Amino acid sequence: MTRADLAAQSIEQLGTGLRDGTVKAAELAEAVIDAQEAREGSLHAYRSRDAAYTRAQAAAADAAFAAKYELGVLQGLPVSAKDLYAVAGYDTYAGTPHPLPMFAEEGPVIRAVRGQLAVIPGKTHTVEWAFGGIGMNPHWETPRNPWDAQDHRAPGGSSSGAGVSLWEGTAVVALGSDTAGSVRIPASWTGTVGVKTTYGRWSLKGIAPLSPSLDTPGVLTRSAEDSALAFASLDPHVGEARRFLEKCREAEVCRFTLGVCDWMFDNNDPGVAEAVQKALDELASAGARVVKVEVPNLTELHELFRRGGIAGLEFAAFINRPGMEKWKQSLDPIVKSRFAAIEAVPAKEYIARVLRMSEMAEEAKPVFECVDAIVGPTIPITPPKIADLQSVEAYQTKNLLSLRNTSVGNILAMSGVTLPVGLDAAGLPVGLQLLTPNGADEQALAMAVASEKVLGAPRARLGTPPLCG
């Protein structure tokens, strides 16, 4: 099993090989270690990795296969974990300069991965405390977007190493988290598939927090079909993962009505709106019903988000707890620059924002009476060059734009998926966002799989990133 073999095969194909004995988890582990050694020096997906530990996990998976234990579709497969997740064998830093001993016990999501004897080859980089959509971190290496061979461009955050780990061949599933877009942004900017789960559907235990009222665990994968399998294997409600994938495969785009949100197309960088519109035209030609929808309150929503929403306020409450002084003192200067304003917000304003967000979510529900999903560009801008983001003002401008469309899903309590649909004028990936009602995660994934049948999987539609060829 070579790096190329691992990169070319789906979760289903790799699983078939592991179960019929033509592939060993140990061989996959060596391909992952080889890819890490070859590419980590330039791409920097991982904060920490451990070749010996990776081999030990693979040996356990192979032993289980030999004993005829069937533990799940991820058995023996490499799964990277964002460095917010507590994972035995790796310290948790949450993007900070200091380890967090209070986040050492694995939570239900990681236990679901471990219970299948998947192989976790390392912890991928995150923005400090997941507080940002660009992917930068002054304490650690900022992962490099593999689609630009000349300039270091943003990989998307806050799950900044997740999408990179998929393309560099060191994972087939990447665990992330999404508070305002932190799964969907790196997925969109790296040309992978990202799943934002319904808030509360997956447990947050064992995951360092940003905003407990908005944080959602999620996954990034190399295709919609892989996302369906990964989601079902980790979800406590779906049931048998392979059966779920078959149900998703039965879905056809002609069953779905897609509601185009023009607001999400406003002020897009060159090639972004065009790539999404082309994909929507292809889906319409295949039978999907594509209509215009008005989502209420989006201007107000974005203004609320621009003023910090509730995520900043909840994070400020967390970082000001006794015992957190060391982590507050070492905060990223860009985060620190916002803290005086965040900490000055009175409790009554926080409560008012929470109530207004709940009202806006209710006011948006009638949209889904006539459409199955709200659609638009996942991110309106091209991944910026890191060199252009060295001032606080430049960073904050791009950061707000990166989160503009994705934050709708969090504030209005929706689930959703982003699919790669093309390259923009700069040659960087563009994502199509499918937002579905709260609790409709299965529908979002069925739509994604059906759309992928029409549009093609990421590797076929986009090609291979220049730095991962």
d(CA 154, CA 135): 6
Q: Which is catalytic among the residues 160, 182, 188, 402?
A: 182
182 is catalytic: yes
Contacts of 328 (CB under 8 A, 6+ apart): 319, 320
d(CA 164, CA 187): 9
| CA-only gyration radius of the chain, Å | 20
In this structure, are residues 155 and 383 in contact, taking their beta carbons and an 8 Å threshold? yes
Of 235, 221, 206, the closest CA to residue 100 belongs to 206
Q: Which is catalytic among the residues 24, 82, 196, 398?
A: 82
Per-residue buried b or exposed e for 396-411, using 16+ beta carbons within 10 Å of the residue's own CB? bebbebbbbbbbbbbb
Phi, psi of 217 (to 5 degrees): -65, 155
Of 218, 141, 203, the closest CA to residue 406 belongs to 218
Q: In sequence order, what DSSP letters do the residues of 43-107 get, joined into one string? A: H--EEEE-HHHHHHHHHHHHHHHHTT----TTTT-BEEEETTB-BTTB---TTSSS--TTS-S--
Q: Which residues are catalytic?
A: 82, 158, 182
